[in-house]
Structures are given as C-alpha cells and as structure tokens.
Amino acid sequence: MRVVVDGKAMQDAHGFMAKLRASAPVCPASEARQAAAVLVTRYEDVRALVGDGRVRHDVRSKAEQEAAAEQRELTPREELMHRALGISMIYRDPPDHTRLRRLVNRAFTPRAVERLRPPLSTVIDELIAAFTPGRPVDLVAEFAVPLTTFAICELLGIPQDERAAFWGWSQEINDAELGDGYYEALAEAVAYLTALIERKRANPGTDLLSELIAVSDEDGDRLSADELVATSLLLLIAGHDTSVHLIANAVLCLLTSPDQLAALRADPSLVDNVVEEVLRYESPVNILPPRFAGSAIELAGGTIPEGEMVLLSVLSANRDESVFPDPDRFDITRSTAGHLAFGHGIHYCPGAPLARMEGRLAIAALVARFPHLRLAVPPAEVRWRDSTLMHGLESLPVRTGS
C-alpha cells in the first residue's frame, strides 16, 4: 500500500513522518508529481542515500529512456521542464555535476555574499519601518519575501523594477502539480532569464550572473546556453523560497517557545544557534527533489527497486530521535551538528552561507526592535503550504506593539 504525500498530510508533516520512521521507514508513496516512488524517512538512510552513487539524479535521461520504451517523443511540456530544470546541477550526476558545481562555486564566493551584508541590513530597517503601527503584519508577505527577493536578485544582478514576478514563479514551480500554472510559470521564467542573460552578455556587471556568463564565454563547451539558464533559474528559485521559510519558521518557533525567545533576548549572540536549530527543527526543505535508483538498494527498513523514484525527507531525518535527543523540542542550546537541511556531500547547497546570513540578520533585527513581538492568531490557525518540496508557512500574522 502506498502512502499519499499531499498538502493535507503536510499540515502535520512531523506527525506523518514520525509514524513512517517508526513503522515504514522505506515506504511506497505517491505525491503530486510522482505517482509511484519510495519515501525514505530515517536519518541514517537519508544521509547515506544523498551521497550514494547508486541513487541517480539525471531524471531527464530517465524520462527520455522511458519515452523511447513507449515509442514516443517527449512532449513540448516535458522538454520545457527538463530544459529549464533537468539540466541544472541539482539533477546531474558526476562528471556533469562536478563541472557545473565548480563553475557556480567560482562565482558564488564568500566575498560576493559578504558584500550583501550592508545593503541587507538597510533593507531590513526599511521593511521594519514600513510596518503599520497597530495592525497585524504578515511576516511572510511583508518581510521575508521582499527581503529574500532583494538578496538573491542583488546577487544575480536582476534590476529592481523586474523582480515582482519572482515569488509567484517560486510558488508555482516548487508547489504546483504539473498543470497549466506550473508550465506557464516555468515558460515565463525561462523567457525572462534568457533575455536577461543576453542583456548582461552585452553589458556585463559585477554580479553573479555576469560572472557565470563570463565563465561560459571563456570556454563555451563548459556551460551551455541552456545550462546557463537552468543554473540561473535554480539559484533564483531555490535561493529565494528556502530563505523565506527559514526566516518565517524561525519567528514562529521563537514565538511559540517563550523560554527560547527569552534566552535569545538575554544573549543575542545565540542567534547563530537559533538559525541552526530552526534548520533542524523546521527545515525549510521537506522532501528533496526526486531522484531514482540506478540499481536495487537494500536498506534496513526495506528495498528500493531498480528504476524506482526516490523521495528523501530531510524534514523527517532532522527529527530522527536516534540522532537528535528529544527531537520535537525546540532548543537553541542543543548541538545540531549533522543536520541535513542544506543536503550533504557533493549536493550540499552552495547558497547556505547567504541563507544563514539572511536568517541571522532578520531574526536579530526583529527580536531587537520588537520586545512585544507576538502572534496575531492562535498557533493552530497558522497554515503550512500545500507543498511536499518546501516546508513553510502560507502567512505569519504577528503584532509588533505592546
């Protein structure tokens, strides 16, 4: 029997995953984009499979092989999906992944991230100043979204007056079933990035996207035109959405754990610990993008057949009681070493330093500026997104005054 992983289940994702860890840690499952897959929920298995060479990421090749077996061509929509996302580094195996990751690392440097600290601090101050006294503030729409949009767009060099559509694209591409809305968002994003790349090729700047173009132009066979668009889209979508939820999830955790909020107020240097505990406790990513078994894989909890799609839940792994004692308690003093919120091994997220910096600056500013910060609705009314990829809030209404 396959478990159904859907938006309803994700309203109690931790309870859902805890039952599977206990009784069916390697479980046949279906979700919005995978009619048949195996869901893996225990930390030991998830961590091992993230770096297991038998787990393949090249879903485009798999789709082409399946289409050939059915004696058909990929549909235009399938072609769009695999061209836009399937050739990015997240869906590639070595040596292609190694090549793409090296190129991104050359542009995504600590210096480039650190340059964003002063302007990020300014934007945080401006967003906080715009809160209307006396009324609830949605910290997702009015704070986390514009802040993280600014960060990733500044890094990529996207003009300020061209950023309005990005949050909508992120939600459709990350959450929606493979219907009209998904493909329309994908086509719009690809068209925009293709045109932007051409503009930057003609007039390069000092941003990450210009750096990626320069790397490509130095040696044209190292980063193709399609790979450049796919890499840009991956950085834009992944770098945006996850950081939104890191910030909002952190505020929710603190406001529903008064003792931990008091500890942070007493010692603001604990903000680093807050970010790491939120990454463990309410990981912004739930189930990693799908991959498949290149050969049969035997695990203690079951077998993944050859060719089967594999869903790895880092949200579940980070609540595994065999690794993190008392995992359902939010504790900003605990050791979170080894959490999988940013992946592991060669697929560790290159944007982790930026996400951490955004989280630290945002949380520190909100806690310092609003001593009476509190939820504007009962915790039970806060709703999680209907997403199996992302673990984040639809909205987070708070009150900032006394």
Q: Domains in the chain, ordered, with CATH?
A: 3-399 (1.10.630.10)
What pLDDT is recorded for position 240?
Answer: 82
Q: Which of 104-113, 210-219, 313-322 shows the highest mean pLDDT?
A: 313-322
What pLDDT is recorded for position 156?
Answer: 87
Indicate the average pLDDT of the chain: 90
What pLDDT is recorded for position 96?
Answer: 86
Q: What are phi and psi of 371, to 5 degrees?
A: -65, -20
Q: Which of 31-45, 102-116, 236-250, 355-369 shows the highest mean pLDDT?
A: 355-369
Confidence check: pLDDT of 253 > 80: yes
* Cβ atoms of residues 227 and 343 within 8 Å: no
CA angle, 392 then 237 then 290, to 5°: 75
Tokens 């880092």 — which residue? 314
Confidence check: pLDDT of 148 > 90: yes
What would the pLDDT profile of 58-100 be if each residue is shown by its tens digit? Answer: 888 888 887 788 878 888 888 888 888 888 888 888 888 888 8
E strand or H helix at 132, and its extent?
none
What would the pLDDT profile of 335-345 be if each residue is shown by its tens digit? Answer: 999 999 999 88
Higher pLDDT, 314 or 402: 314
* Cβ atoms of residues 314 and 325 within 8 Å: no
What pLDDT is recorded for position 107?
Answer: 63
